[in-house]
Amino acid sequence: MTWEWKNLDEMVRPLVREALLSIRPYVPGRPIQDVMREFGLARVIKMASNENPLGPSPKAVAAIQAMLGELHRYPDGAAQDLRSAIAMHTGLPRDAVFVGNGSDEVIKLVAETFLEPGDEMLAPYPSFSQYDFSAHVMGATLAPVALAEGFAYELGEMRKHIRANTKLVVLCTPNNPTGTWLTHTEVAEFVDSLPSNVIIVLDEAYNEYVDAPDPVRSVELIQAGYAVLSLRTFSKMYGLAGMRLGYALGNPSLIRYLHQARAPFNVNAMAQAAAIAALTDTDHVARSRASNLAGKEQLYRGLERLRVAYVPTQGNFLIARVGDGERVFQSLQEKGVIVRAGFLGLSEYVRVSIGTAEENEQFLKTLADVLGKTADLR
């Protein structure tokens, strides 16, 4: 049966808030089954969404299984046990911790809490598209500040763009999608230079992967009394992307207002149990770090042999300059390798997640085929 809907566009459009009309919906990495169906493929590898190729923490899986008999119960809306576990993990008190349905929700709640029409959010460019989305949902403005050569931050340049109506400044480090990063010294000096009416949002979704010198220590900035919100996630290092769980750390004076903006029961019971267990799984974290470091070096070597430029990364992904990024993305997925392309300001690049050794090798071989190159990738 085919259902024919009456077209209500003319009636509905004038009722929609003006701020929503210019928003471009987020487009995630394509699901494996979707690509298999479209191209008739028996095997597809996904290296598009910066997921942990080792899978979830085994302790988290066991915690989820233990919760199955309690699914008829509502979760703890305040997520007290999880917030206590995060507090112990970070060295902050529980009232300095907020949890949400993925860091995407936390970013949106930060905007809903602090932004009004006429306000401005400063963010690097290119960077994570959800900053632009969250600002525009609130009728505020996103002011993009271009990254420097090699996609490095120039915080002095960003400081010049702060105006009277600037309320939030976002620093994503390591930056998604470029993989470039900031040091603690750089961030601390920048934060200290800002006026007191500006809130710094440090998006640290990939902070567990950082092995560069002088990593950002956002907890120290929070403890020192700065208006800093550090955003973290269980989707990357802990392998719980399907559970949708992120969190924010900050002065309780900031965190309390996020609670006023959140929906009741915004974090489900299984996610809470899984996250508590994942925080204790130091073996899984160590394996994931080691795998990511080895995979990063494998991709570096392979791209160098293919004479494909890349940007050094501190995340679990990197961007490679392939010419026509959209064409290469399409060609790769037709051959069973899903990456990402289409990032604003990065038309010549694709972003590839760091996978297992086998996945990385398959990506490099397929990329060589797509680019018409041959190379010894061993």
Please give the Cα distance from 342 to 226 (Å, whole number): 36
> Residue 8 contacts by C-beta under 8 Å, 6 or more apart in sequence?
none
How confident is the model at residue 378, as a pLDDT?
A: 55
* φ, ψ of residue 167 in degrees (nearest 5): -110, -35
Count of other CB atoms within 10 angstroms of residue 317: 28
Number of H helices, E strands in the chain: 14, 12
Q: Indicate the domain borders of the chain.
A: 23-54+283-371, 58-279
Strands 141-146 and 120-125, bridge-based pairing = parallel
Residue 199 in 3-state DSSP? strand
Sequence-separated contacts (24+) of 330-335 with Cβ below 8 Å: 331/370, 332/363, 332/366, 332/367, 332/370, 333/30, 333/35, 333/39, 333/44, 334/39, 335/366, 335/369, 335/370
Q: Please list the ranges in the chain whose pLDDT falls under 50.
A: none
With residue 45 as reference, give the H or E element that holds it: strand 45-46
DSSP letter at 175 equals P
Domain 58-279 fold = Aspartate Aminotransferase; domain 2 (3.40.640)
In this structure, CATH architecture of domain 23-54+283-371: Alpha-Beta Complex (3.90)
Nearest-10 crossing angle of helices 102-114, 130-137: 40
